[in-house]
Structure 1
Amino acid sequence: MGTARANWAFLLGYRFYVAAFFVFLAAPLIAAGSFAFNDSLFPALPWQGFTLDWFFNDTEPKLGMFHDRRLLRGLYYSFVIACGVSALSVFVGTCNAFLFVRTDLPAKNFFYIVMIVPLVIPGVILGISILAMASQFANGLEEAHGIELGFLRPGLPLVVLGQFSFIATITSLVITARLRKFDATMEEAAYNLGASRLRVLTTITLPFLRPAMIAAGIVAFLVSFENFNTTLFLVGSESPLTITMFDRMAKVGSTPVLNAVSFFLMIGSGALALVSVLVQRDRTKV
């Protein structure tokens, strides 16, 4: 009887903990998203009625996010940055995977640890360090040789390089984990049948890595899109969405249009995260 009661109490406590944990995670998101539909000029209670003005209205004071040129411009810049970062990170991550799995690189474990270091460095420190290094290099080159490297000045290219410096680590880890599961005998069989190295790579190895590459690209896109700390120090006049929202909060304060943007991003991020999970499933065995 005592054991049954103990098991029942443990099960009840476990269920309560899981429910409380997910409520803690979801409650702020639900609250932020719900105010995007509140027919009020302020994201606060009481509820004034349901509206879609904060998405589609084209006049002040309820200018919707799809008619707010500054927010749309920030959304565009964030998309451009995230695409560039994800493409670079997947390419370099794939190269790193082959480097760490297929080669006998001297001090390979040391370089593997060095690759992980950017993930544990605070984004603020990383942003300041990259800005200082890029500025010093650009200034020194301009003073010594009169060469101006605009991509080392604050702006979109430097933001891409700054985010790439740590996001490439994430893609490298994801793709490396996939490559470690690859059965190398499949490549050997293809070589024995006369296939070239390039053909084996494009028809056997890369198709096996494709789910991890797609998932890594999606993760890189999401991490880049929502990055704020590092981006804040590297951005120029072309502000991505996170910086635009921060600037709007600092100057105007919180408005429901920012809740509308947040809701839009939550839906988009959730959809991409679901795609990332689905593509990593081994539906076919190579």
Structure 2
Amino acid sequence: MFAASNSQKSLSRWLFYAYILLILVFTLGPLVIVTILAFNNNPSASFPWQGFTLDWFKSSTPDRVGLFDDARMMAAVVSSVKVAVAVTLISVILGVNNAFLFVREKFVGKEFLYMLMLGPLVVPGVVLGTSILAFSHGIANALDSALGNGAGTFLRPGFWLVVLGQVSFVATTTTLVITARLKRFDLSLEEAAMDLGATRSAAVLHVTLRFLGPAIFGAAIIAFLFSFENFNTTYFLSGPDPTVPIILYSRLRFGISPEINAVSVLMMVTTGLLGLAASAFQKEEGLA
């Protein structure tokens, strides 16, 4: 009886280890392969291994154009960074204001408004992108008709429409992160600051927002990553200056090149560094 019980425990343990191994293989395996191929001296972007090279990152020869010498790809990187920075700033500002609205204020329809805010998180990105495109197109046409040609340009596919489209769902995420932190704030600290002579604005700025600092920083990291890597919504809203995911998609239709692997490695490194920065900041603040 005890032997059978030990045998079952041993089998369960091996099944558990096998399950964990499968998860690691399916999640980390593709990333490891892409990283290896990014440094493989094989122009077909596949195995076998033909030696180490950095050509896919830095090379300007006609048959080997590296990532940092590809003008179109670097323009896409710059475009992605610009969009991500704008989306991050707007989303964090909205997130802070929304957090105070939902935590501090009491008004009719508060729960309904909160549920409405969560809508973009459950709507597929494709649906969100096409809906925003159709809506903005109608408003842009109306503005052009009422105010003259060019009045609705900012609502045409391009930088600002991509920013608005991404903010529609990224701001929801920043709101959730900052709201969760604000709910833990001891309001008596703010009241104590005002009792000592600080104005309400000064108390919020120096006490409450300081307390929210780690959440704001974490929300900013999340917003930047969500924006930089977004494809579904951005695809329908981008204009003449596409972002990195759009460029990758357009090139993948003609096959995988070593440069695409190099771009993937760059994005993984960027994501990892930002994640480590957020983790280190939270540990320093005693939140991890």
TM-score, L = length of structure 2:
0.94
Deviates more, 1:71-80 or 1:36-45: 36-45
What amino acid is the match of 1:110? F
Partner residue in 2 for 1:18:
20
1:222 aligned onto 2:250: no
- Taking the aligned partners of 1:88 and 1:195, their CA distance within structure 2 comes to 28
Partner residue in 1 for 2:211:
208
CA-atom RMSD, angstroms? 1.5
1:236 aligned onto 2:239: yes
How far is the alpha carbon of 1:284 from its aligned partner?
4.8
Partner residue in 2 for 1:81:
83
Partner residue in 2 for 1:113:
115
- Taking the aligned partners of 1:278 and 1:13, their CA distance within structure 2 comes to 35
- Taking the aligned partners of 2:70 and 2:34, their CA distance within structure 1 comes to 19
Partner residue in 1 for 2:45:
43
- Residue in structure 2 matching 1:182, options 182, 185, 193: 185
- Residue in structure 1 matching 2:104, options 102, 127, 130: 102
1:99·1:105 contact (CA, 8 Å) conserved in 2? no
Change beyond 3 A, Cα 1:3–1:191: farther
1:175·1:209 contact (CA, 8 Å) conserved in 2? yes
- Taking the aligned partners of 2:40 and 2:278, their CA distance within structure 1 comes to 32
Deviations 1:44-96 (A, max 9, x none): 12221111110111212111101110110000000000000011000000000
Partner residue in 2 for 1:161:
164
2:76·2:244 contact (CA, 8 Å) conserved in 1? yes
How far is the alpha carbon of 1:177 from its aligned partner?
0.4
What amino acid is the match of 1:164? V
- Report the secondary structure of 1:54's partner residue: coil
- Taking the aligned partners of 2:217 and 2:285, their CA distance within structure 1 comes to 15
* Structure 1 residues 116-131: aligned runs within 5 Å: 116-131=118-133
Partner residue in 2 for 1:56:
58
- Taking the aligned partners of 1:226 and 1:216, their CA distance within structure 2 comes to 15
1:197 aligned onto 2:200: yes
2:41·2:53 contact (CA, 8 Å) conserved in 1? yes
Give runs of ≥4 in structure 1 deviating > 4 Å: none
How far is the alpha carbon of 1:172 from its aligned partner?
0.3
1:97·1:172 contact (CA, 8 Å) conserved in 2? yes
What amino acid is the match of 2:200? R
Deviations 1:242-282 (A, max 9, x none): 111212223x4211001001011101111111222332347
What amino acid is the match of 1:59? T
2:88·2:223 contact (CA, 8 Å) conserved in 1? yes
- Taking the aligned partners of 1:276 and 1:128, their CA distance within structure 2 comes to 33
What amino acid is the match of 2:248? M
- Taking the aligned partners of 1:53 and 1:83, their CA distance within structure 2 comes to 30
| Structure 1 unmatched ranges of 5 or more | none
Count of residue pairs the alignment pairs up: 284
- Taking the aligned partners of 1:105 and 1:3, their CA distance within structure 2 comes to 60
